[in-house]
Amino acid sequence: METILKGRRQQVVKKDGKDINIACEKQSLAGSVSQRACVFCGSRVVLYPIADALHLVHGPAGCAAYTWDIRGALSNGPQLHRMSFSTDLREKDVIFGGEKKLYAALNELIDRYQPKAAFVYSTCIIGVIGDDVDAICKRVSKEKKIPVLPVHSEGFKGTKKDGYKAACEAMWKLVGTGNTSGISKFSINIMGDFNIAGETWMIKEYYEKMGVEVVASITGDGRVDDLRRSHGAALNVVQCSGSIIHLARRMKEKYGIPFIHVSYFGIEDMSKALYEVADYFKDETVSNNTRELIQSEVNAILPKLNWYRQKLNGKKACVYTGGAFKAFSLIRSLRMLGVQTVVVGSQTGSPEDYQMLGEITDEGTIIVDDTNPMELAKFVQEKDADLLIGGVKERPIAYKLGLGFCDHNHERKIPLAGYEGMVNFAKEVYTSTCSPVWKLVPRRKHLYEQQVETNCSGSCHECESTCDIKTQCSGAA
Ligand code: SF4
């Protein structure tokens, strides 16, 4: 408890019964060194995958550099989203204003790249000097005849969650401006999947096999014209709820499009998502297609997962995510692999999210909101976890402590969603957790020896391609 700052004590609980009484949705405590990103970063990660739009960061070069190519979000067409344009404000601009520079940058970039739309992100300094970004965007939009959309994401004005909302507000200006003719009655928008390592493509393929049309992917491999006609879809299927729910609610209010919450991580949640979409349409063909699809995908991967389960059984994991929805799926997927989650937390969880975590975790699990590196390191040691699942900021904590790490954040290059993604996830967890390198860490040496003893059956012909233990095991083939 002495590791936890006094002002944060209500944001950490140890599960004892089902009701979780935890403080959350607060500003980060000063001096805590939160793992959270700023408002601007929140907007940038949501809008980033819209590949045929221009993304211009109005502020110092550092804000743009910080978020340059921030996601592993792929596009099968334009790559404009991967550029990091900045108005590069300097001292003189801060004193005399950056509006002229913004106007000039927009003109030059639009002429050069011919984007379908432009997003202009306000950073901290814009909130301080008060540039009229809306007026410049309006003027350029009129002159260039494309939507030029201000994103009110001044970094200091809230949490990352406020950035998500600012991104949704910017996209909302595009929704409803396109032609919806020809859209199937069995149609959806995929919302809150960002095509990390091509995941949206996999999910889209599942829906197509079910007989469901995907009108827009918001925003993984996103296109401006798809967003414009997304109000023609029959259903919004929302994954990363924190980031995109504001837009889904807007679409429900104005166009009457209902939304459902899903997750594409893990067999259980992936299958549930597809069944729920099929149930919504109440069509026999769609239902049959869905059943066949799920059966064939699950049958194909179960033997592989069973192999990993044998190797991982009894391991312990710490899970720290941005939004809490991912943590739910991770806990279930880890359980399926025989791994117990002993610490779990998120940067932006709501009271409902933590209640849900309380329901699905084991007694004694540490549940934490908006943690910091000191706390995470302490919890991981206290619970003697074998694995930390998080993002780029958590990776060094894991390696310094000498335990496995699995990147489940937006920088990763391996798809972890869908059925194929579940096998990749199991492999990632296994190769990192059971790596022989941990025998060099004194604190964990005894565990490694135990693992070699208990995990290796001596029949390495089964696991030739993936087993790292065999090189250390004298009983092996
Ligand atoms: S917007 Fe502000 S907090 Fe965010 S990167 Fe820029 S300067 Fe830093």
Tell me, in angstroms, the distance from the centre of ligand 1 to residue 317's CA: 32
Out of 3.40.50.150, 3.40.1360.10, 3.40.1710.10, 3.40.50.1980, which CATH number does the structure's domain 187-296 have? 3.40.50.1980
* Gap between the Cα atoms of 293 and 201, Å rounded: 16
Angstrom distance (rounded) from CA 27 to CA 351? 15
Residue in this structure with the two tokens 């809306």, named with its chain if needed:
134
* Helices (H), ranges, 218-283: 224-228, 241-255, 267-281
Of the residues 44, 124, 157, which should be mutated to test ligand 1's pocket, given the most ligand atoms within 8 Å of the CB?
Answer: 124
How many whole angstroms separate alpha carbon 100 and alpha carbon 104? Answer: 6
Residue 25, classed as helix, strand or coil, is: coil
Q: What is the pLDDT of residues 42-57, one digit of tens each?
A: 999 999 999 999 999 9
Q: What is the pLDDT of residue 470?
A: 45
Measure Cα distances from 49 to 37, 218, 224, 370, 408 in Å: 18, 8, 11, 26, 17
Among 70, 74, 86, CA closest to 50: 74
CATH for 301-472, among 3.20.20.70, 3.40.1080.10, 3.10.28.10, 3.40.50.1980? 3.40.50.1980
pLDDT at 1: 60
Distance in Å, CA 115 to ligand 1 centroid: 25
How far apart are the CA of 96 and the centre of ligand 1, in A? 20
* Kind and range of the H or E run holding 261: strand 259-261
Q: 24-79, pLDDT tens digit by residue?
A: 988 889 889 888 889 999 999 999 999 999 999 999 999 999 888 888 899 999 99
Name every protein residue with a CB atom under 6 angstroms from any ligand 1 atom: 38, 40-41, 59, 63, 66, 123-124, 155
- Residues 273-303: pLDDT tens digits? 999 999 999 999 999 999 999 999 999 999 9
Residue closest by Cα to atom 4 of ligand 1: 155
Q: One fold for both 187-296 and 301-472?
A: yes
464, pLDDT greater than 70: no
Residue 60 C-alpha to ligand 1 middle, in angstroms?
Answer: 9
Enter the tokens of residue 274. 């597809």
Neighbours of 158 (CB within 10 A): 16
* AA identity, residue 34: S
Contact between residue 141 and residue 147 where contact means Cβ atoms under 8 Å apart: yes
- Structural contact between residues 374 and 3, judged by C-beta atoms closer than 8 angstroms: yes
Question: In the structure, what pLDDT confidence band is assigned to residue 449 with cuts at 50, 70 and 90?
Answer: low
The answer to whether residue 345 scores a pLDDT higher than 80 is yes
Domain ranges of the chain: 39-172, 187-296, 301-472
Ligand 1: which atom is nearest the Cα of residue 66?
5
Q: Give the model's pLDDT for residue 101.
A: 98
Q: Quote the CA–CA distance of 44 and 243 in Å, as a whole number.
A: 11
Tell which atom from ligand 1 comes closest to the C-alpha of 123: 1
The pLDDT assigned to 348 comes to 86
What is the CATH topology of the domain spanning 39-172?
A: Rossmann fold (3.40.50)
Give the residue among 38, 51, 25, 27 at the shortest CA–CA distance from 122: 38
